[in-house]
């Protein structure tokens, strides 16, 4: 799978921009969350403890202590009944939350009772008998006396008005006819309710008061909330009378995750619970996370834009270099990398590619001036370079010579001569290549080719036959028939190698076989192919070739007459 360089830079820049920020942000959030959790825990525990403490302080300071003073005054034997009634009345005026005071005599049906007028009117407006509601039943007094719960409030609720009332009883030391006297007070708990409802914590969380059955207290709508985990944890502690404050995290039925703490007032059979949703508790962390995400998004966008600009500036010249390299690979050595001005490694690479393209073009042109055997020899030597010397090889040499070239060159311009000569050599070179031959060189109007490998004699002879046929058509149509080609072929051993000076060598083939082919070519008339005995033995009887024996000829440099044969197409 291809992975573009631009995409790599983009991903790299994004990682550089986002990963450090994400790691730092994660650590900051963890630290902030831990700190906030500690602060929230302290806050919740403090609120629950504070409200519980206020309940106890109000109970003792506003009700229990003043009622104890009134009880002591009423207990004074020096006061008559009217004075005691006045004490009860004045005491109620000083304690607005006390809505009824009653002196109960053990076994007596008619107690002495004083009530708050406003509260009584509210009861009457609700269709209730104030005396019946505010009186403390003798059975309740007896039960309190039996359990020793004097001074402990007994909580009740007036359903019709929604008022929460506490019954407080205090025993008296004086006796009437030997009977026990009890001071009973009815206390309106609206003050406690207001303290809970107006607490500043309600702006962030929730404060609830529950009893041992998991019911809400000091509210209009009494509900059972025992399904809340924290309420269920507090209920048995209320029943047991324990006072172990605690903090816990839990989830409500609707899925809201809450943090809560509870505390227990000393004088009331309740638990005060302070709760805060985890979302509100960690709102600061959420805001911090949002800002980190915002900064991360901006950083990612900036890094992405910078990465795209940078990667484009970096990859654009690389892509140009790649396209030029592809063109060079396809043989377009004139291609050059344009408009790369960066003064760095990429700029250096572009210059080197341009230099390489130029040098390859030059080498390609130079290759046209050397034979394939030369190129093969150079490639075989590798980095060591070719050295002077030669090796013996079995070859078949073919020489072709254009007859009538000199006379033609005297009648036409040099440019036309060159054009015709190139056209004739082009035809011969193509046929030589088709038959697996290698053109060693062009000398004037003469071509020298070498065949090696299997069936070299047969391939060389067929090549010569096709050259004669092709050039007969070419010369007849383009040169007016003034030019013809004579060909000589000889087979045998020759020396192939680099020869010349150290700095200027020629890779060629030498030997008697080469000389013999050249001499046969010089003897051949226009349109004639001459071969010697070794070639004749290899091609005799071959399809497509007819051999005709000719008289032996004397050749320069060879002592004995040489048997020769003429080859022609069958």
pLDDT tens column, 371-424: 555 555 555 555 455 555 578 889 999 999 988 776 766 677 878 878 888 888
The rounded Cα 204 to chain-centroid distance in angstroms is 39
Q: Based on the domain organization, do 409 and 481 belong to the same domain?
A: yes
Q: Determine, yes or no, domain membership for 541.
A: yes
CATH number at residue 391: 3.30.70.1230
Q: What pLDDT digit, counting tens, does each position of 542-555 carry?
A: 888 899 999 999 88
Q: Determine, yes or no, domain membership for 131.
A: no
Give bridge partners of residue 272 from the DSSP assignment: 209, 263
Domain tally, the chain: 3
Q: Based on the domain organization, do 553 and 407 belong to the same domain?
A: yes
Per-residue pLDDT, 450: 92
CA-CA-CA-CA torsion sign (73, 78, 80, 83): negative
Q: Is the pLDDT of residue 263 over 70?
A: yes
Q: Based on the domain organization, do 396 and 341 belong to the same domain?
A: no
Look at residue 230 and give its three-state secondary structure.
helix
Q: Which residues contact 499 (CB under 8 A, 6 or more apart)?
A: 388, 390, 505, 506, 507, 508, 510
> Going edge to edge, which strands form the sheet with 98-105?
112-115, 98-105, 179-188, 163-176, 154-158
Q: Based on the domain organization, do 317 and 252 belong to the same domain?
A: no
Residues 400 and 437: their CA atoms lie apart, in Å, by 13
Residues 478 and 466: their CA atoms lie apart, in Å, by 18
Both structure tokens of 411: 């009648």
> Going edge to edge, which strands form the sheet with 271-277?
216-217, 206-210, 271-277, 257-263, 246-251
Q: Determine, yes or no, domain membership for 544.
A: yes
Q: Is 204 exposed, middle or buried (0-12, 13-18, 19+ CB in 10 A)?
A: middle
Per-residue pLDDT, 397: 94
Q: Based on the domain organization, do 352 and 445 belong to the same domain?
A: no
Residues 567 and 339: their CA atoms lie apart, in Å, by 61
Mean per-residue pLDDT of the chain? 80
Q: Based on the domain organization, do 411 and 275 belong to the same domain?
A: no
Share of residues in the chain with pLDDT > 70 (%) = 79
Per-residue pLDDT, averaged over 167-183, amounts to 77
Per-residue pLDDT, averaged over 218-226, amounts to 90
Residues 524 and 29: their CA atoms lie apart, in Å, by 101
Domain that holds residue 309: 285-365
Q: Based on the domain organization, do 458 and 404 belong to the same domain?
A: yes
Q: Based on the domain organization, do 323 and 466 belong to the same domain?
A: no
What's the per-residue H, E or C state across 468-506? HHHHHHHHHHHCCCCCEEEEEEEEEEEEEEEEECCCCEE
Look at residue 113 and give its three-state secondary structure.
strand
Give bridge partners of residue 165 from the DSSP assignment: 156, 188
Per-residue pLDDT, 44: 84
Q: Based on the domain organization, do 502 and 516 belong to the same domain?
A: yes
Q: For the residues of 45-67, what is the DSSP string, one character each?
A: HHHHHHHHHHHHHHIIIIIIHHH
Q: Determine, yes or no, domain membership for 371.
A: no
Q: Based on the domain organization, do 463 and 399 belong to the same domain?
A: yes
| Domain C-terminal end among 281, 310, 330 | 281
Per-residue pLDDT, 292: 67
| Domain C-terminal end among 253, 281, 309 | 281
Q: Determine, yes or no, domain membership for 217.
A: yes
Q: Is the pLDDT of residue 362 over 50?
A: yes
Share of residues in the chain with pLDDT > 90 (%) = 26
CATH number at residue 238: 3.30.450.20
**Ranges 14-18, 169-173, 248-252, 414-418: which has the least confidence:** 14-18
| Domain C-terminal end among 365, 399, 421 | 365
Which is more confident, 233 or 305? 233
Per-residue pLDDT, 322: 78
Q: Which residues contact 176 (CB under 8 A, 6 or more apart)?
A: 105
Q: What pLDDT digit, counting tens, does each position of 528-543 carry?
A: 999 999 999 999 888 8
Does the pTM surpass 0.95? The reply is no
Q: Determine, yes or no, domain membership for 344.
A: yes
The secondary structure element, H or E, covering residue 552 is strand 545-553
Q: What pLDDT digit, counting tens, does each position of 233-248 carry?
A: 889 888 887 666 666 7
Q: What pLDDT digit, counting tens, does each position of 53-79 carry?
A: 999 999 988 888 888 888 888 777 777
Q: Based on the domain organization, do 290 and 268 belong to the same domain?
A: no
Q: Determine, yes or no, domain membership for 520.
A: yes
Q: Based on the domain organization, do 428 and 503 belong to the same domain?
A: yes
Q: Determine, yes or no, domain membership for 461.
A: yes
Residues 141 and 373: their CA atoms lie apart, in Å, by 132
């Amino acid at each position: 799978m291809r992975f573009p360089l631009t995409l790599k830079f983009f991903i790299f820049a994004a990682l550089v921009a986002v990963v450090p920020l994400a790691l730092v942000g994660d650590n900051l959030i963890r630290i902030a969350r831990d700190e906030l959790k500690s602060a929230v825990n302290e806050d919740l525990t403090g609120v629950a403890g504070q409200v519980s403490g206020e309940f106890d302080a109000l109970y003792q300071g506003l009700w229990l202590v003043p009622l104890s003073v009134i009880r002591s005054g009423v207990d004074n034997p020096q006061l008559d009944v009217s004075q005691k009634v006045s004490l009860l009345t004045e005491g109620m005026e000083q304690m607005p939350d006390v809505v009824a005071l009653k002196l109960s005599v053990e076994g007596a049906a008619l107690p002495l009772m004083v009530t708050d007028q406003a509260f009584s009117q509210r009861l009457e407006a609700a269709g209730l008998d104030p005396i019946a509601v505010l009186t403390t039943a003798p059975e309740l007094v007896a039960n309190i006396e039996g359990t020793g719960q004097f001074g402990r409030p007994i909580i009740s609720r007036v359903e019709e008005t929604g008022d929460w009332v506490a019954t407080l009883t205090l025993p008296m030391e004086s006796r009437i006819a030997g009977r026990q006297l009890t001071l009973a007070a009815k206390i309106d708990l609206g003050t406690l309710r207001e303290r809970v409802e107006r607490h500043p914590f309600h702006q962030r969380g929730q404060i609830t008061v529950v009893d041992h059955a998991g019911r809400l207290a000091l509210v209009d709508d009494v509900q059972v909330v025992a399904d809340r985990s924290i309420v269920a944890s507090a209920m048995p502690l209320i029943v047991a009378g324990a006072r172990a404050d605690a903090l816990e995290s839990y989830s409500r039925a609707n899925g809201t995750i809450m943090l809560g703490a509870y505390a227990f007032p000393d004088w009331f059979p309740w638990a005060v619970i302070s709760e805060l949703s985890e979302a509100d508790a960690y709102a600061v962390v959420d805001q911090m996370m949002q800002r980190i995400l915002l900064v991360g998004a901006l950083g990612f966008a900036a890094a992405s834009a910078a990465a795209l600009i940078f990667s484009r500036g970096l990859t654009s010249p690389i892509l140009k270099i790649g396209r030029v390299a592809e063109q060079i690979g396809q043989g377009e050595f004139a291609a050059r990398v344009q408009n790369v001005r960066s003064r760095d490694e990429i700029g250096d690479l572009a210059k080197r590619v341009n230099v390489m393209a130029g040098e390859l073009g030059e080498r390609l042109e130079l290759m046209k001036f050397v034979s394939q055997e030369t190129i093969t020899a150079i490639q075989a030597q590798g980095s060591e370079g070719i050295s002077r010397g030669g090796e013996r090889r079995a070859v078949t040499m073919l020489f072709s010579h254009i007859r009538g070239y000199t006379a033609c060159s005297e009648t036409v311009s040099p440019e036309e001569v060159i054009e015709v000569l190139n056209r004739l050599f082009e035809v011969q070179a193509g046929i030589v290549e088709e038959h697996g031959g290698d053109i060693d060189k062009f000398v004037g109007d003469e071509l020298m080719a070498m065949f090696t490998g299997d069936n070299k004699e047969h391939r060389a002879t067929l090549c010569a036959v096709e050259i004669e046929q092709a050039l007969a058509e070419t010369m007849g149509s383009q040169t007016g028939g003034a030019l013809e080609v004579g060909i000589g072929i000889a087979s045998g051993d020759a020396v192939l190698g680099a020869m010349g000076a150290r700095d200027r060598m020629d890779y060629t083939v030498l030997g008697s076989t080469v000389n013999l082919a050249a001499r046969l070519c010089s003897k051949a008339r226009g349109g004639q192919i001459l071969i010697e005995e070794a070639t004749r033995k290899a091609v005799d009887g071959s399809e497509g070739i007819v051999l005709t024996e000719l008289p032996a000829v004397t050749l320069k440099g060879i002592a004995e007459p040489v048997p020769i044969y003429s080859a022609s197409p069958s």
